[in-house]
Structure 1
């Protein structure tokens, strides 16, 4: 537990955001609580607002001025008006169902290089203050793991999965962000690309899976053309994703890399 002491207009306020331990998956429930204390005087807490952020800075800039940047991927709810007497503490429950499109930062314990966190902002007696980020661990879904395992069996390794604050054209979306999993093979078979990007656009049924050669900027249309496939969550354990990966790799080899190099 890390205590954040927020100051604004001479009114001291202590806030602690506690996330339940362990990972959460896209589509799953994020739980925790926000602890608010008034150590020096009575306070009226007007609102508690939270942002779930990807590409988040996990450092404190001082005086409650942290966590202002990053790509917002959700607004967990823990709001409400209440009074705090001097020395009083109140615990406000935090529950939030992650959208299916939420980026992941954990693949079976492998850090994917994406920082996801929750920023807490408190408005008390006309004073607004913001905490630093509290980290959130979001792990890959079984469907993601099954597809990536198939590429691993073909010699590809996951080297990262950056989140881009843009959109995928012509898909139903609920987040203004998408994640590209970068796959690298040190010595690919003849004709196979050495660097690929795999994107899962996930919903409650399954995923649209986009496969392309690495390249371009963060904007979807400025990247190389992508192949599109679909897979359902319930197919994990019954579908031969190994055969799929071999077929997809053969088809990816025919794609032209027309975009600029990665920035």
Structure 2
């Protein structure tokens, strides 16, 4: 998330000048190994450095609670379209259904999980051959959840990705958050010099015809774009074509790669947290 997400609502704008010295103090503590600071999303780490000059390491959310109770065990060729509440969802799903009808018997079986409907257990999700997700922000924990399951996962590729991750990205300093959330720390002396601001293109008005390079640049820090072994589609038609061609053997191969990558990042992340815990204990002594 963005450093100042919900700050104005929670504390009030007048408290911001008092907040920045606390941020710098936290940065000094981290620099001198008196604490641990990390970001679960790449884009959060980059935004924090741009906004306040703090450089936290990326330590991903692992969803180990998911991996401990469920795993990828496909029981059918069905693909789960994960529930999605944003305004563009009904239109996308309608197009998907129309294209599936056009394909006829060769169309994959897409199961739409309706918002407000029955929630599925992690194991029920893992019983689908694959999961399709439409993002709502640059990073979402549900992506980590299905990654921990080892499920093959379809996600939008560029440029389709931009249609979903930016319009309602309030938690990431987007236009649905107050302008205050995009403020820069006037005390920061070591901020990053990205070629594009992460905030200018996320103003209150969504300029669909502008800031193409800005969006493309910052999308590279989104887990939807960075994580390997995701099955990326550029349109509803391509999603159907890819899902129809995902055989049981191909899905198993993708799942094996996902599980291997998850094991690798889990090993690195747990090593970080062990070191952070030992450092905190040493500081207590």
Q: TM-score surpassing 0.5? A: no
State TM-score, norm by structure 2. 0.20
Bigger proportion of residues as helix? 2
Specify which structure has the bigger relative contact order, considering alpha-carbon pairs within 8 angstroms and separated by 6 or more residues: 2
Q: Normalising to structure 1: TM-score of the pair?
A: 0.21
